[in-house]
Amino acid sequence: MIYTASYYFKNLLAVKIMNILEMKNISKSFPGVKALNDMSLTVKKGEVHGLLGANGAGKSTLMKVLSGVISPDAGDIIFKGESVQFTSPLDAQEKGIVIIHQELSLVPSLSVAENILLGRLPGKPHNINWKKAYNDAAVYLEKVGTYIKPSTKVRDLSVAQKQLVEIAKALSYDADLIIMDEPSAVLSGSELNQLFNTINSLAEKGVTVIYISHRLEEIFQICNRITIMRDGQVIETREVAETNREQIIRGIVGRELSEEYPPSETYNFGDVILSVKNLSLKGKLDNINLDLKKGEILGLAGLVGSGRTEIARSIFGADVYDKGEIFYKGKKTVIKSPKQAIELGIALVPEDRKEQGLITSFSLKENFTMAALKKINNKGFMKFKKEIDESKSLVNQLKIKTPSVGQIALNLSGGNQQKVVVGKYLFSDADILILDEPTRGVDVGAKREIYLVIRELIKQDKAVLLISSDWEELIALCDRLLVVHEGKIKGEMNGQDASPEKILDLALT
Ligand SMILES: Nc1ncnc2c1ncn2[C@@H]1O[C@H](COP(=O)(O)OP(=O)(O)OP(=O)(O)O)[C@@H](O)[C@H]1O
Ligand SMILES: [Mg+2]
């Protein structure tokens, strides 16, 4: 065969069209942290490309560079065959790149429709065509399989619903490349399937998706290729069909991980520490009954909006229930506020880390100790050394990636922020820990550390109420599972007998 100039030219063009994106030798440093270190990434047109790596590996930073949120210290970006330098997210958007951020960025005081169509509401600024706005928004909401009313205020939505709105908003831009930074962290069952359907139909239309997730089973369901990052560098890019779970985990954590879930040890439960009787909350909870024993991990499974979080918040005194009783340590107790709950020895790791769990402008050590100031306070004098020592030990125990315990929480990666929230409540020495999505956005290696801590608490006779949208996690950790649907408990099963199919069956009917 004779290779002509035109043959080469055609091939060159094909390569250009095949690769919608090339990021070459990107570096980015923050004070004390080299977040990206000569990182390169190539993405083909129309593929779903998984971006994997441990907490703090640099995934979000790389995607912020790509979407014009931050500018790199060095490196080149070639998008649709052209060298580009984005000066702002709007600039990237106009060229066809949209990002769904890991930390949700909707405006809580505005409606769902206003958020989706922000800056693009139909009609004139003083005469908005609301009918059209709501209709348009509804079309995008339907694409992600949710029927939230477009006029609902975003602040009234659950974390998972907010996530769905973010996705709907991204779809509305008609982008060539959509970056999804952990869109599935709070979704399960049918919502997750709907997200995958949406991604598949985008890919069919030739839209490229970069997909970040710590849930590895998803990678095999929807990604064509993956790139694994570690410490701001690329470890490898592979076809998903040519890899397996063990190999991916090795790439992410840099070593073998003997088992993802530490095996449970036989343990005799103690007395019932918490008993909830006939608890009802108008429109949200209907006659909830549950018992939690010392040394027990009780799971709450269900879909978005099923009432799991409301059960947790009612016990914690954050929601005021209309009917029912709570018995704590054998005594009828009315818990009026979270402050009172903490004093009684009940702690809640909330699902919304940014709004309720973490003060992002505070340092790590301040965040750790603020729920248990008594422990570091001696007659009005702060025990600063103790604060630092205890904080350092939590950083080690949970393997939090930070230059120091004085770093402000905002500067940590998403998964590391989550570990700080978990650490804060571990420090509080509570008897009951209510964990609402404790491993949201946490990498496989660090998840195991959190599981080990939970098991350690159980050995100290504490009790755990665990809510998670990761059903594998619930099944592996819980002694008993309650399935919640439409504010009611639909069934109970032992951890050993549970399966995702059984949960789904109860969660839907
Ligand atoms: N604005 C900032 N100031 C200081 N350090 C930062 C800032 N943004 C990110 N970092 C640091 O850069 C590193 C990479 O963070 P990045 O958010 O990209 O990680 P990630 O891979 O997305 O992790 P995760 O899985 O936890 O979301 C981390 O060590 C993080 O603490
Ligand atoms: Mg991230």
Q: Torsion over CA of 331, 335, 339 and 344, rounded to 10 degrees?
A: 10
Q: Is residue 499 part of a domain?
A: yes
Q: Is residue 482 part of a domain?
A: yes
Q: Is residue 397 part of a domain?
A: no
Predicted confidence band of residue 99 (pLDDT cuts 50, 70, 90): very high
Determine which residue's CA is closest to atom 25 belonging to ligand 1.
55
Which of 368, 57, 131, 413 has its CA nearest to residue 376?
Answer: 368
pLDDT (tens digit per residue) in 248-266: 999 998 877 767 788 777 6
Handedness of CA 185, 186, 188, 190 (dihedral sign): negative
Is-contact 50 223, C-beta < 8 A? yes
pLDDT above 80 (res 484): yes
At residue 9, the pLDDT reads 52
Question: Total domain count for the chain?
Answer: 1
Class of residue 26 by CB neighbours under 10 A (exposed 0-12, middle 13-18, buried 19+): buried
User: Which percentage of the chain shows pLDDT scores above 70?
Assistant: 93
Taking the CA of 55 as reference, the closest ligand is 1
What residues sit around ligand 2, an ion, with C-beta below 5 angstroms?
Answer: 60, 102, 414
Ligand 1 atom at minimal distance to the Cα of residue 407: 4
Q: What is the pTM of this model?
A: 0.82
Predicted confidence band of residue 468 (pLDDT cuts 50, 70, 90): very high
pLDDT-wise least confident of 382-386, 449-453, 503-507 = 382-386
Q: Give strand pairing partners of 228.
A: 52, 236
At residue 8, the pLDDT reads 54
What whole-number distance in Å separates Cα of residue 51 and Cα of residue 227?
A: 5
CA–centroid distance, 3 to ligand 2, in Å, is 46
| Pocket of ligand 1 from Cβ distances under 6 Å | 30, 33, 35, 53, 55-61, 102, 401, 411-416, 441, 443
Q: Is residue 83 part of a domain?
A: no
Q: Is residue 498 part of a domain?
A: yes
Predicted confidence band of residue 1 (pLDDT cuts 50, 70, 90): very low
CA–centroid distance, 187 to ligand 1, in Å, is 23
Taking the CA of 414 as reference, the closest ligand is 1
CA–centroid distance, 462 to ligand 2, in Å, is 32
270-274, 346-350, 378-382: range with highest mean pLDDT: 270-274
Taking the CA of 410 as reference, the closest ligand is 1
In terms of residue numbers, what domain contains 340?
272-345+471-509
Q: Is residue 285 part of a domain?
A: yes
Q: Is residue 294 part of a domain?
A: yes
Is-contact 328 277, C-beta < 8 A? no
At residue 32, the pLDDT reads 85
**Type of residue numbered 402:** T
Looking up residue 498, the CATH number of its domain turns out to be 3.40.50.300
Residues 43-56 have a mean pLDDT of 95
Is-contact 295 460, C-beta < 8 A? no
pLDDT (tens digit per residue) in 307-317: 999 999 999 99
| Helix 159-171 / helix 189-204 crossing angle, nearest 10 deg | 10
What whole-number distance in Å separates Cα of residue 69 and Cα of residue 46?
A: 23
Residue 127 in 3-state DSSP?
strand
| 213 or 504, higher pLDDT | 213
Residues 152-159 have a mean pLDDT of 89
- Mutation probe of ligand 1 site: the residue of 60, 67, 402 with most atoms within 8 A of C-beta: 60
Ligand 1 atom at minimal distance to the Cα of residue 57: 21
| 419 or 189, higher pLDDT | 419
pLDDT above 60 (res 242): yes
Q: Is residue 313 part of a domain?
A: yes
Taking the CA of 415 as reference, the closest ligand is 1
Class of residue 255 by CB neighbours under 10 A (exposed 0-12, middle 13-18, buried 19+): exposed
pLDDT-wise least confident of 23-27, 85-89, 423-427 = 423-427
pLDDT above 80 (res 365): yes
Place of tokens 């769905």: 164
Predicted confidence band of residue 352 (pLDDT cuts 50, 70, 90): confident
pLDDT above 90 (res 483): yes
Cβ count within 10 A of residue 357: 23
Place of tokens 């997210």: 89
**Type of residue numbered 311:** I
pLDDT-wise least confident of 31-45, 374-388, 394-408 = 374-388
- Mutation probe of ligand 1 site: the residue of 413, 442, 450 with most atoms within 8 A of C-beta: 413
Residue 303 in 3-state DSSP?
coil
Mean confidence (pLDDT) of the chain: 89
Predicted confidence band of residue 480 (pLDDT cuts 50, 70, 90): very high
**Type of residue numbered 452:** L
Residue 262 DSSP class: P
Predicted confidence band of residue 16 (pLDDT cuts 50, 70, 90): very low
Segments of 140-191 assigned E as strands: 177-181
